[in-house]
Amino acid sequence: MSEASGPTALVLGVGGQDGVYLARHLLTLGYRVVGTVREDALDGDRAAYLSGVELRELDVRDRAGFAAILDTVRPDEVYNLAGFTSVGASWGQAELVAETNGMAVLRILEELVAHQDRHGSAPRYFQPSSSEMFGISDQQPQTEGTPHHPRSPYAVTKSFAHHLTVNYRESYGLFTCTGTLYNHESPLRPQQFVTRKITQAVAEIALGRREQVSLGNLDVRRDWGSAADYARSMHLMLQQDEPADFIVATGVSRALSDVLALAFLAVGIDDPTPYVVQDPALMRPAEVVDLAGDPTKAREQLGWEPAYDFETVVDHMVRVDMRRLETGVEE
């Protein structure tokens, strides 16, 4: 059992990038943190980041399993970071994505209502929404009021869960918040995401272990930020007097080609061109061309500011990947 005397947080999907950053942040704030992982989903390296977290096994689609954890843990706050996160992979697995990102959220919200009926109150709930919900947008940067035009199965399911979370707040008075998170990166990002794919490849190239990296569309633009900063915003949202919806972004969009240049610059290579192959197979069936979020509301109401600029994040990711390669320790 943890010695913490503060509030209790339940972090669903604590083994992922955001789960790790959030759990560690909450521990420093004195929380008791209970985190769920899927069966066999947590390897030893990743578990090392979670010392101090009480781990439970849960597939987030399992309503009865979630209800049992809710009843025994009796958390003050629930953060749902257990989703399917890869846009690119979502085309091939749409049904699984809908179950995990959509129906699972419906079941969680239903259980929170049931809990409220039984006990008079329910834990506060954070839902991570995604900038991908905006897809093609007439508005740049996007705000909390920008309409959704999702462009992938992933984005459709996130939009469904976003609206449900708002609706359960309005229908049942639950304290639910959505944070529409723009792309956020760290050395814990899996390599199916383009930033980490690039930093890993650059580290290998710098160490002479590889010659080139294949990439898709380099003209796409995203508002990239730091996972550590974005995890802090989730906690801040649940501390407000009233639940609300927030955009979490830096406000700056940059081209993927610029990110590529930053990563190569971190190892002293000025021109990435000889090291990059364009592969049409990595182009998406429907692309999101450019997104940037307006974080004014988060800044003004939450007092949230990013602590890291993206140059620093990319530089750090390349350095960590080089160290992993040199020491043979994966994470």
* Cα distance between residue 82 and residue 37, in whole Å: 8
- The piece of 8-16, 171-179, 213-221, 239-247 that touches ligand GDP (CB under 6 A) is 213-221
- Quick check: 258 binds ligand GDP (CB under 6 A)? no
Q: Which of 37, 87, 202, 322 binds ligand GDP (CB under 6 A)?
A: 87
For 170, phi then psi, to 5°, come to -70, -35
Q: Look up 132 and say whether it is catalytic.
A: yes
Q: Look up 168 and say whether it is catalytic.
A: no
- Quick check: 262 binds ligand GDP (CB under 6 A)? no
Are the C-beta atoms of 81 and 22 separated by less than 8 Å?
yes
Are the C-beta atoms of 32 and 91 separated by less than 8 Å?
no
Q: Look up 154 and say whether it is catalytic.
A: yes
- Tokens linked to 122: 């329910």
* Cα distance between residue 163 and residue 142, in whole Å: 17
Are the C-beta atoms of 168 and 109 separated by less than 8 Å?
yes
Pairing between strand 213-215 and 225-226?
A: unpaired
Closest alpha carbon to 173 in 122, 233, 232? 122
**Which position among 77, 111, 132, 185 bears the catalytic label?**
132
For CA atoms 48, 330, 216, 223, the dihedral sign is: positive
Please report how close the Cβ of residue 173 comes to ligand GDP at its closest, in angstroms: 33
- Quick check: 217 binds ligand GDP (CB under 6 A)? yes
- Quick check: 216 binds ligand GDP (CB under 6 A)? yes
Site string for ligand GDP, 263-302 (x = CB under 6 A): -------------------x-x--xx--------------
- Quick check: 226 binds ligand GDP (CB under 6 A)? no
Please report how close the Cβ of residue 281 comes to ligand GDP at its closest, in angstroms: 9
Positions in the binding site for ligand GDP (CB under 6 A): 87-88, 183, 192-195, 197, 215-217, 220, 222, 256, 282, 284, 287-288
